[in-house]
A and B are shown apart, each in its own frame.
Chain A
């Protein structure tokens, strides 16, 4: 049962462009929304996260936009670089279930030079 839906499955962006990845969730009991970045051969690593009472969070070139009423959130990567090429996962956290993270399907991002 997929509770967090992510799109697109893959994305190709030119260097310097904006990469946008979208996620939608179903369960309003989620408490926190992190994004993870995974390079080939490595485990996922936390990139940026947002609480549901905040509409936007920016860290460097990475921005999360959050729309609570629509139950959607997105990751924007500004000035995308070839080094950003990786798989990105959105996730949602249940605090009252031991902090269980439910991940989206993942988006494979390729930034072309």
Chain B
């Protein structure tokens, strides 16, 4: 158990809808990262927050947004969903800015299916 909690574990929704994925980082970790994992794209970095502030942005679509709250949990909002958004979404956390050791602690992911 990595200590990172993601909810929901599975989510099925329809095209055009909006969903929110939630992540609770390990106790004491200030950095939260979001990754998208699909079969053809591997693990794609979406966005990173550190102590409530956005620190790095990757290939995150404009339809997607995220934030980190004062209690350090984070939410990833996906809107106007398309079939291609179906993927496993991982949250990861680290104590500081990643990992000066390169170590991130990953949750078990939220599997999103868009029908």
Flag if B48 contacts A89 (CB, 8 Å).
no
CB proximity of B13 to chain A, nearest CB, Å:
21
Bound together, the chains give a CA A42 to CA B107 distance in angstroms of 8
Q: Mark B39-67, 1 if CB is under 8 A from A, else 0.
A: 00011110010100001101000000000
Flag if B99 contacts A99 (CB, 8 Å).
yes
Residues of A within 8 A of B108 (CB): 41-43
Contact of A32 among B48, B99, B107 (CB under 8 A): B99
Closest to B99 in A: A99
* Interface: A13 (CB within 8 A): no
Residues of A within 8 A of B44 (CB): 103
CB proximity of A93 to chain B, nearest CB, Å:
5
* Interface: B98 (CB within 8 A): yes
A residues contacting the other copy or chain, number (CB 8 A): 25
B residues contacting the other copy or chain, number (CB 8 A): 31
Flag if A34 contacts B103 (CB, 8 Å).
yes
Residues of B within 8 A of A43 (CB): 2, 4, 90, 92, 106-109
Residues of B within 8 A of A41 (CB): 108
Chain B residues engaging chain A, CB cutoff 8 angstroms? 2, 4, 31, 33, 35, 42-45, 48, 50, 55-56, 58, 90, 92, 94, 96-109
Q: List 22 A-B contacts (CB under 8 A).
A: A33-B102, A43-B4, A43-B108, A44-B90, A45-B106, A46-B104, A91-B102, A93-B102, A97-B55, A98-B31, A98-B98, A99-B31, A99-B96, A99-B98, A100-B58, A100-B98, A101-B98, A102-B45, A103-B35, A103-B43, A103-B45, A104-B42
